[in-house]
């Protein structure tokens, strides 16, 4: 929602300042539909040409993520700590075999079922279940550092893929000014075809052509670049929850005391959503 407020402020100041300086919006309004069609169509075509269908869908879906913000809130981070702590408690008390049914069918698991929102995040659930599955199927207990390496690689791969929509918007921000020049050049070509017209007509044609350059720069640095930057922030924020999972699993496998494990998981959360030490332990005692 804050992003929308920012866009409104930007448009108000740009066009409002132009009007305050004595400019008329009529030429811009007249030329904008065609110039936007050229620039927006070229940008969309280039995006489709340069990316897979999955990335294109993710880029379009990024608009919704921009409005909604990060998917995980403070309670979600607390819930994932409770969830993974319960799983590791069963592991220590009953052994890895006792977790087989939970990791093979988490939707039917009594443990996972307590956290329906987390259960909907397939990447998060797969990180938990795939890691625990290694403990279940291994003939001997794997080394904690080997598990940590695997989890780090899984988190890195997921993060890299999640950033692609943001990178696409960054690419658009780099391309839009040039596409604006393309639209402007086409306007100049049109103007040269009417070179025998009066100055007033030529001035209107040149003004319409320059709108293309204006829109290309505005769309790049006023919309595409901020959107890409905000999406990257959201992806980085959402990635914290995977590190929380890693800290609890690896800490448990290393035999660290529970307070140390929980604190390592807690400090992996950004300050905006970070629960207090007492909130987590009070929650664990109530589970």
Tokens of 67: 């409005």
Could you tell me the pLDDT band of residue 222, with boundaries at 50, 70 and 90?
very high
Q: How many helices (H) and strands (E) does the chain have?
A: 14, 0
pLDDT at 156 over 90: yes
The length of the chain in residues reads 287
pLDDT in tens, 33-52: 999 999 999 999 999 999 99
Cβ atoms 219, 183 nearer than 8 A: no
pLDDT of residue 159: 95
Tokens of 185: 């050049």
The arithmetic mean of pLDDT across residues 66-81, rounded, is 92
Tokens of 11: 């448009």
Contacts of 36 (CB under 8 A, 6+ apart): 215
| Spatial CA neighbour of 43 closest among 174, 179, 166, 146 | 179
Indicate the DSSP class of residue 22. Answer: T
pLDDT at 2 over 90: no
pLDDT of residue 192: 87
What percent of the chain is predicted at pLDDT more than 70?
99
What torsion, rounded to 10 degrees, do the Cα atoms 6, 7, 13, 18 define?
A: 170
Query: DSSP per residue over 179-244, as a string?
Result: HHHHHHHHHHHHHHTTTTS-HHHHHHHHHHHHHHHHHHHHHIIIIIHHHHHHHHHHHHHHTHHHHH
pLDDT of residue 287: 57
The runs of H, that is alpha helices, within the chain are 2-20, 26-50, 53-68, 74-94, 100-104, 116-119, 122-137, 144-162, 164-192, 199-219, 225-238, 240-253, 258-266, 277-285
pLDDT of residue 231: 94
pLDDT at 22 over 80: yes
pLDDT of residue 95: 86
The arithmetic mean of pLDDT across residues 126-150, rounded, is 91
Tokens of 27: 């030429």
Tokens of 226: 């901020």
- What mean pLDDT, rounded, does the chain reach? 92
The arithmetic mean of pLDDT across residues 57-76, rounded, is 88
Residue with tokens 């987590």: 280
Could you tell me the pLDDT band of residue 286, with boundaries at 50, 70 and 90?
low
């Amino acid at each position: 929602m804050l992003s929308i407020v920012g866009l409104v402020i930007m448009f108000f100041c740009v066009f409002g300042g132009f009007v305050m300086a004595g400019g008329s919006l009529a030429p811009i309004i007249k030329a904008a539909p065609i110039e936007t069609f050229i620039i927006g169509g070229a940008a969309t075509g280039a995006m489709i040409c340069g990316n897979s269908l999955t990335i294109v869908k993710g880029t379009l879906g990024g608009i919704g993520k921009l409005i909604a913000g990060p998917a995980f809130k403070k309670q979600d981070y607390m819930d994932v700590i409770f969830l993974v702590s319960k799983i590791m408690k069963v592991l220590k008390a009953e052994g890895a075999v006792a977790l087989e049914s939970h990791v093979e069918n988490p939707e039917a698991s009594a443990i996972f079922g307590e956290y329906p929102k987390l259960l909907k995040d397939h990447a998060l659930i797969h990180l938990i279940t795939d890691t625990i599955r290694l403990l279940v199927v291994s003939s001997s207990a794997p080394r904690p550092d080997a598990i940590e390496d695997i989890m780090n690689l899984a988190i890195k791969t997921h993060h890299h893929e999640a950033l692609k929509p943001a990178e696409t918007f960054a690419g658009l921000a780099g391309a839009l000014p040039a596409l604006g020049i393309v639209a402007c050049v086409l306007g100049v070509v049109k103007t040269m075809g009417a070179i025998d017209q009066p100055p007033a007509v030529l001035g209107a044609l040149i003004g319409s052509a320059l709108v293309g350059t204006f829109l290309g720069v505005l769309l790049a640095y006023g919309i595409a670049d901020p959107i890409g930057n905000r999406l990257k922030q959201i992806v980085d924020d959402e990635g914290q929850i995977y590190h929380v999972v890693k800290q609890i699993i690896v800490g448990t496998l290393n035999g660290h005391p529970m307070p140390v494990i929980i604190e390592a998981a807690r400090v992996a959360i950004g300050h905006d959503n970070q629960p207090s030490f007492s909130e987590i332990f009070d929650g664990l005692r109530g589970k």
